[in-house]
């Protein structure tokens, strides 16, 4: 058995784990149908079988020479089991619940589907990229509490997001962000929750990835042991360097939680050489100013997003707050300033700003046309339900301090806030439009946090007359 010199697989096959002779690589249910796609196994014909989940007998759906099938005529709200066979070969049994989704389904994973249980059961960490050759790349990882959390799936669209197909998967890879540098695709990620910080490059636009290099060593966050935390955030180019955020800590660490950091590398340097990267020392939250007095030392400062402020400084705008009701951190974000002249210098506290979505990861980007800062945020609308993520909004600011709602994109208030969530949107501007990938919990998700969909969306005319497609 030969060792591996790559990061990507089609698919990753853990030892003693039944991946299936035929690999169903994408599932996309709708109200009355399920689209399933699989990797060709060298067979001329495939047979597809399906049954309602509560029944015992499978019905033959079709025979096909293609590597996809639409199982149609299904009942909305009902759950189904299905598989693909070819001679003696057979896929794993997969699960899906039919229901009207939002946008275009990039991928779906039923919470009881154990296909990726060696990593997790839910889809997380959306990352979206437009390649110079015109196609779109989307990635998401597989997570679940107290599980390994170390697999990422990558999909591609050749028609501006109207349809998607599987490319590859990365192992180990968690909390990853796809980005471009000198026309090549890179992934910046962790090996697992609070694990090592990794970076790797694709030689062919995202279809394969060479083995990554380690930039920082972490642990795994279990039992309060700390390591690297990051999230898919915009990579910013400023002052001849590329910059990205991360944190050092763990949710289980009751002393300080997470300490903010920023990393950077000169644009002309090789990103795959660890010695070319510089890191600010971890900045633990403290009572830097009177408005922070009394807050617990492990108050959340996490998932920072970098942008250039009105004064031309690079700043990290951080998700901020505490779930304890006695502390007033409702609709606020914490800002750290970056010393771009000294990439080793500590971050400096720069104050609190009003921000309507501080209880979930958000990204901030400045529109080069209007000059406004924009974000797509799970907007907090009730101080007694700060964790709810059933309202996703496009918001903007003229000064990075005061924010207004431009449009509510998904408004599911009044339905079931414990089971519905729209969160962690990764977005970019493209002409008059905004394109974004969303971590979506809908139609029988385990809960609002543990998403079963990764969905793609486009906002037309976002500056003047935003219309969601």
Phi and psi dihedrals of 413, rounded to 5?
Answer: -60, 140
Query: If you search the block for the tokens 């299905």, which residue do you land on?
Result: 82
Mean pLDDT value across residues 236-257: 94
**Paired tokens of 250:** 């763990």
Plot region of 229 (φ>0 → left; ψ -120 to 50 → alpha; else → beta)? beta
64: containing domain: 8-97
Does the residue 218 lie in any domain?
no
Does the residue 61 lie in any domain?
yes
Does the residue 169 lie in any domain?
no
Alpha-carbon distance of 428 to 421, in angstroms, equals 21
pLDDT in tens, 280-335: 999 999 999 999 998 989 898 999 999 999 999 999 999 998 877 666 678 999 99
For residue 85, which of 69, 107, 106, 108 has the smallest C-alpha distance? 69
pLDDT, position 70: 98
Does the residue 375 lie in any domain?
no
Contact 329/322 with Cβ under 8 angstroms? yes
**Paired tokens of 413:** 């208030």
- Rg over alpha carbons for the chain, rounded to the nearest Å, is 22
pLDDT, position 384: 84
Mean pLDDT value across residues 393-408: 97
Mean pLDDT value across residues 437-464: 98
Does the residue 12 lie in any domain?
yes
Per-residue HEC secondary structure of the chain comes to CCCCCECEECCCCCCCCCCECECEEEEEECCCEEEEEECCCCCCCEEEEEEECCCCCCEEEEEECCCEEEEECCCCCCEEEEEEEECCEEECCEEEECCCCCCEEEEECCCCCCCCCCCCCEEEEEEEEECCCCCEEEEEEEECCCCCCCEEEEEEECCCCCCCEEEEEECCCEEEEEEEECCEEEEEEECCCCCCEEEEEECCCCCCCECCEEEECCCCCHHHCCEEECCCCCCEEECCEEEEEEEEECCCCCCCCEEEEEEEEECCCCCCCHHHEEECCCEECCCCCHHHCCCCCCCEEEEEEEEECCCCCEEEEEEEECCCCCCCCCCEEEEEECCCCCCCCCCEEEEEEECCCCCCCCCEEECCCCCCEEEEEECCCCHHHCCCECEEEEEEECCCCCEEEEEEEEECCCCCCCCCEEEEEEEEEECCEEEEEEEEECCCCCCCCCCCEEEEEEEECCCCCCEEC
The total number of structural domains in the chain stands at 1
Alpha-carbon distance of 299 to 305, in angstroms, equals 18
Residues 6+ apart with CB under 8 A from 167: 137, 154, 155, 156, 206, 207
Does the residue 34 lie in any domain?
yes
Alpha-carbon distance of 327 to 380, in angstroms, equals 16
pLDDT in tens, 37-86: 999 998 889 999 999 999 999 999 999 999 999 999 999 999 999 999 99
- pLDDT exceeds 80 at position 443: yes
Does the residue 260 lie in any domain?
no
Contact 208/173 with Cβ under 8 angstroms? no
CATH number reported for the structural domain that contains residue 35 in this entry:
2.60.40.10
pLDDT in tens, 210-239: 999 999 999 877 777 899 999 999 999 999
Confidence of residue 344 (pLDDT cuts 50, 70, 90): very high
Does the residue 70 lie in any domain?
yes
pLDDT in tens, 131-159: 999 999 999 999 998 899 999 999 999 99
Alpha-carbon distance of 43 to 63, in angstroms, equals 12
Alpha-carbon distance of 375 to 15, in angstroms, equals 42
Alpha-carbon distance of 389 to 387, in angstroms, equals 6
Q: 390: how many CB neighbours lie within 10 A of its CB?
A: 25
pLDDT, position 326: 65
- pLDDT exceeds 90 at position 379: yes
pLDDT, position 223: 76
First to last CA, the chain: 48
């Amino acid at each position: 058995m030969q060792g591996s010199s790559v990061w990507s697989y089609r698919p990753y096959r853990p030892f003693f784990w039944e991946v299936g002779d035929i690999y169903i690589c994408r599932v996309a249910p709708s109200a009355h149908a399920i689209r399933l796609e699989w990797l060709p196994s060298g067979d001329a014909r495939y047979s597809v079988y399906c049954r309602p989940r509560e029944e015992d007998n499978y019905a033959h759906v079709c025979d096909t020479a293609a590597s996809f099938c639409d199982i149609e005529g299904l009942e909305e709200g009902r759950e189904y089991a299905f598989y693909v066979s070819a001679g003696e070969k057979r896929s794993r049994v997969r699960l899906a619940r039919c229901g009207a989704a939002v946008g275009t389904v990039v991928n779906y994973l039923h919470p009881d589907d154990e296909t990726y249980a060696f990593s997790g059961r839910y889809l997380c960490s959306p990352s979206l990229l437009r390649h110079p050759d015109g196609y779109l790349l989307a990635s998401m990882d597989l997570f679940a509490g107290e599980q390994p959390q170390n697999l990422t799936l990558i999909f591609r669209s050749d028609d501006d997001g109207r349809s998607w197909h599987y490319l590859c998967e990365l192992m180990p890879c968690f909390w990853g962000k796809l980005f471009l540098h000198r026309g090549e695709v890179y992934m910046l990620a962790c090996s697992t929750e609070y694990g090592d910080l990794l970076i790797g490059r694709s030689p062919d636009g995202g279809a394969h990835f060479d083995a990554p290099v380690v930039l920082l060593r972490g642990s795994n966050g279990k039992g309060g042991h700390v390591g690297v935390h990051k999230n898919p955030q915009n990579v910013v180019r400023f002052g001849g360097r590329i910059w990205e955020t991360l944190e050092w800590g763990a949710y289980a660490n009751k002393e300080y939680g997470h300490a903010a950091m920023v990393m950077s590398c000169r644009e002309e340097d090789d990103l795959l050489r660890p010695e070319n990267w510089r890191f600010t020392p971890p900045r633990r939250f403290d009572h830097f100013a009177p408005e922070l007095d009394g807050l617990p030392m492990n108050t959340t400062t996490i998932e920072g997003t970098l942008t250039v402020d009105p004064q031309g400084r690079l700043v990290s705008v951080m998700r901020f707050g505490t779930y304890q009701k006695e502390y007033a951190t409702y609709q606020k974000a914490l800002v750290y300033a970056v010393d771009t002249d000294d990439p080793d210098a500590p971050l400096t506290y720069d104050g609190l700003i009003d921000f309507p979505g501080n209880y979930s990861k958000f990204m901030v980007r400045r529109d080069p046309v209007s000059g406004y800062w924009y974000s797509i945020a799970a907007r907090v609308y009730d101080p007694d339900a700060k964790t709810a993520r059933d309202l996703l909004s496009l918001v903007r600011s003229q000064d990075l301090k005061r924010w207004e709602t431009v449009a509510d994109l998904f408004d599911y208030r009044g339905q079931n806030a414990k089971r519905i969530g729209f969160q962690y949107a990764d977005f970019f501007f493209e002409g008059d439009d905004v394109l974004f990938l969303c971590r979506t919990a809908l139609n029988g998700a385990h809960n609002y946090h543990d998403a079963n969909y990764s969905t793609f969306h486009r906002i037309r005319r976002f500056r003047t007359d935003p219309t969601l497609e």
